Chain A
Amino acid sequence: MNPHLQPTGSAYFIAKETQVPERHTLSVLVDNEPGVLARVIGLFSGRGYNIESLTVSETEHEKHLSRITIVTSGTSHVLEQIKHQLERIVPVHGVVDLTVRAGELGQERPLERELALVKVAGTGDNRVEALRLADAFRASVIDANTEHFIFEITGKGSKVDQFIAIMRPLGLVEICRTGVAAMNRGPESM
């Protein structure tokens, strides 16, 4: 029964992981209480899991519930462990692997959006070009004077990446990105 087995490491036998890691987005609903984020992050660092992106905010104030969105990568075996380990944490109400859920719903992937603030400084042609490209990306100007813009851009991570790459030669001086906010399509809630 073991040919498909991928040992993660044992005192007897350290195997090379041959399965390909996948990138998954998890939604974790937690009681908004002190230390809950530390518990989640500590689990990832303590057990050697990856965090590619992390977004946390209170979503239901009356019920003191927060939603943590984590983008992680691992083999399917590791991803299953991550989900179960998260569910063991006492203030965790539930964990949904949005990527798996999207598959079950016949969708390619969950909806994922990021927001970034991008500060570009410069004058002359670069400044004009930056503004023109921002318009093409539907980034909005939220602060400006004669020597800089701050653009606000939302979209998939890849779109934000692309926008930042384009702004780089045009006088990019500062970037701030939120992590990923994610949800599955359709009428059902998590």
Chain B
Amino acid sequence: MSNGQNERREMSGAEIVVQALIDNGVKHLFGYPGGAVLPIYDELFQQDEIEHILVRHEQGAGHAAEGYARSTGKAGVMLVTSGPGATNAVTALQDALMDSIPLVCLTGQVPTTLIGSDAFQECDTVGITRPCTKHNWLVKDPNDLAATIHEAFHVATTGRPGPVVVDIPKDVQFAKGTYVPPQIAPRMSYQPKVQGDLEKIKAAVALMASAKKPILYTGGGVVNAGPEASHLLRELVDLTGFPITSTLMGLGAYPASGRNWLGMLGMHGSYEANMAMHDCDVMVCIGARFDDRITGRLDAFAPNSKKIHVDIDASSINKNVRVDLGIIGDCGLVLEDMVRLWRATAKADKKALYPWWEQIARWRARDSFAYKQNPDVIMPQYAIQRLYELTKDRDTYITTEVGQHQMWAAQLYGFEKPNRWMTSGGLGTMGYGLPAALGVQIAHRDALVVDIAGDASVQMTMQEMSAAVQYEAPIKIFILNNQYMGMVRQWQQLLHGNRLSHSYTEAMPDFVKLAEAYGGHGIRCDKPDDLDDAINEMISVKKPVLFDCRVANLANCFPMIPSGKAHNEMLLPDEATDEAVANAIDAKGRELV
């Protein structure tokens, strides 16, 4: 890094930006040029260490960078211009904030002399992005630029990861300043606590060893802590024999084929996972945040349990749910201590867990993801299952949009490894999956990258097909097309007397022609018998593919915990008659989201 040549060198601000990116290990940059970033683009033109991916909309750059980050464990980087460039990035920034994705966003700004004058393409970028970033900076002096960018990478990738913005006025990009290489000199005020309190971890292990009905509930924090954390989690499960469930964000940290796997929990989670959460006596939450989609009705959440919560963010502990033992630290390091202490002190009495596993087996036998197969129409669940069977033995990465298809994917696609599942969990951003798939494909050129999409979501960022074609990124957009915003419709059926207000798309593009118009490949399939061949065609085509999978229009996503209900009040698929659906949520529950 500091090979002398770059040490304290005079450069223009734009040169400093590019050098700082290189020195922070950046290989790919997602961006869109504009007036206020032209000097940086000029520098990018004159180098070949960083590949710039030209998106078609800044939101796409953000989600692509998120997909890149989530699938590699490195920071995703984006570059956009001032004003609309920055405001278009806001959705992706908030998305990354809620899902703890390391994202470094560089924005151009009008020259310092014009700031505050309502100049062309001016906006208060640091003001607008303050609440949707972990931290942000406006750099007014070229001499501060290098250190600020280095600090931005440090803040984005350490502690609880998140998005950061560095706003760089155009005159600062032209002005000369001194470049300094990255240094390990973090600011005094930012010292994330990564090592868990050993006494508390000991207490946690003792509590776990005493459990008769334990459960591990893990989340995206384990994935963020790196592959070693997932490895340690698997070891802990093997040692303890505990059942394990995970949030949407944590899928893949423990393999879906693992014997102790209960499936995802929460609103559309499995019956066995939710019932086990409700009835457990010791809950071990690792890197999850008791989100409202997970807990259901809070005053009836796991009422007879002792709760242990491991999180790197102190504010996550006791935020929604009061816990008995809060451990602040990096999931990987805490898991390491837990595994070591369990080996040293606790004897797994796996026999004592037999009654608990027998109970779980009874819940499992309820087969809560079951659906009625149809010989003439493709059931959406069937489409996911076939996609899984035909792609599981490949080097596959899955992204999703947001809605019913996302939940079906989470329920039915089995993830064996971390970093293979990219989805918008916290913010629920429709339009996330297609650009995220682009980002994943750029990072993993030879992998099979599939966006499991809905027909409504995918139209929000469809323009990135053009970027995928340009960069020969053969992403597969597998659209479960039911012509509805399925999840919106499902809620209208649940809450609003089946009045389907504006949730049906009357004019749907011809996705096959659309794919061809972009220079990609289009496939349509509407018969269950043709599905396998069509999926195999999708896999074999070395181009971006839009796969228009026509599925049963009115299928709904079950099981479901209706609003205002607890984990043990799930609506199961075989009980979800029209009447049950219409009456599932009472007047009080209707206010909720």
With A5-B298, A31-B187 known as contacts, the answer to whether A12 contacts B130 (CB < 8 A) is no
B561 in the interface (beta carbon within 8 A) = yes
In the complex, A87 Cα to B193 Cα: how many Å? Answer: 12
Q: Nearest residue in A to B151 (C-beta to C-beta)?
A: A90
> Are B292 and A90 within 8 A (Cβ)?
no
A39 in the interface (beta carbon within 8 A) = yes
Which of A10, A85, A90 is in CB contact (< 8 Å) with B190? Answer: A90
With A12-B565, A12-B592, A15-B299 known as contacts, the answer to whether A90 contacts B134 (CB < 8 A) is yes
In the complex, A1 Cα to B292 Cα: how many Å? Answer: 18
A46 in the interface (beta carbon within 8 A) = yes
> Are B307 and A12 within 8 A (Cβ)?
no
Nearest chain A CB to B292 CB, angstrom units = 4
> Are A35 and B130 within 8 A (Cβ)?
yes
> Are B131 and A42 within 8 A (Cβ)?
yes
> Are B296 and A12 within 8 A (Cβ)?
yes
Q: Which residues of A contact B299 (CB under 8 A)?
A: 2, 5, 7, 13, 15
Interface residue count on the B side (C-beta < 8 Å): 45
B479 in the interface (beta carbon within 8 A) = no
With A7-B298, A13-B297, A77-B318 known as contacts, the answer to whether A46 contacts B131 (CB < 8 A) is yes
**Residue-by-residue, is A38-54 near B (CB-CB < 8 Å gives 1, otherwise 0)?**
11001000100000000
Nearest chain A CB to B535 CB, angstrom units = 35
> Are B130 and A38 within 8 A (Cβ)?
yes
Which of B126, B138, B313, B322 is in CB contact (< 8 Å) with A88? Answer: B313
Q: Nearest residue in B to A36 (C-beta to C-beta)?
A: B189
In the complex, A1 Cα to B305 Cα: how many Å? Answer: 6
In the complex, A15 Cα to B297 Cα: how many Å? Answer: 10
Q: Nearest residue in B to A30 (C-beta to C-beta)?
A: B189
> Are B305 and A10 within 8 A (Cβ)?
no
In the complex, A39 Cα to B313 Cα: how many Å? Answer: 18
Q: Which residues of A contact B127 (CB under 8 A)?
A: 38
**Residue-by-residue, is B107-148 near A (CB-CB < 8 Å gives 1, otherwise 0)?**
000000000000000000011001100111010000000000
A84 in the interface (beta carbon within 8 A) = yes
A8 in the interface (beta carbon within 8 A) = yes
**Residue-by-residue, is B188-210 near A (CB-CB < 8 Å gives 1, otherwise 0)?**
11100000000000000000000
Q: Which residues of A contact B593 (CB under 8 A)?
A: 11
Q: Which residues of A contact B315 (CB under 8 A)?
A: 81, 84-85, 87-88
B321 in the interface (beta carbon within 8 A) = yes
90-112 of chain A: CB within 8 A of chain B: 90-93
> Are B306 and A1 within 8 A (Cβ)?
yes
> Are A1 and B324 within 8 A (Cβ)?
yes
> Are A12 and B297 within 8 A (Cβ)?
yes
B residues neighboring A (CB under 8 Å): 126-127, 130-131, 134-136, 138, 155, 187-190, 292-293, 295-299, 301-307, 313-315, 317-322, 324, 561, 563-565, 589, 591-593
